[in-house]
């Protein structure tokens, strides 16, 4: 794999990581959306234990 391609993939992966962390943080603040998004009950229960 060319070095430029590798650097681009690494940068995209870092951006995706940041977007994922932001989405997780936003979801943690919006328990009203969990069921609508189809999150399994076990996950909703686990997340509710960590809601501030």
For 13, the domain range is 3-48
Is the pLDDT confidence value at 4 over 70? yes
Contact between 47 and 24 under an 8 Å Cβ cutoff? The reply is: no
Q: Mean pLDDT score of the chain, rounded to an integer?
A: 93
Q: What is the pLDDT of residue 50?
A: 73
Span 2-13, average pLDDT: 97
pTM across the whole model: 0.69
Dist CA 12 CA 6 (whole Å): 10
* pLDDT tens digits, 31-45: 999 999 999 999 999
- Among 4, 51, 2, smallest CA distance to 28 is for 51
What was the pLDDT predicted at 51? 58
**How many domains are there within the chain?**
1
């Amino acid at each position: 794999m060319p070095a430029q391609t590798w650097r681009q993939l690494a940068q995209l992966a870092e951006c995706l990581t940041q977007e994922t962390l932001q989405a997780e943080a936003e979801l943690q603040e919006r328990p009203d959306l969990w069921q609508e998004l189809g999150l399994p009950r076990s996950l909703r229960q686990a997340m509710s234990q960590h809601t501030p």
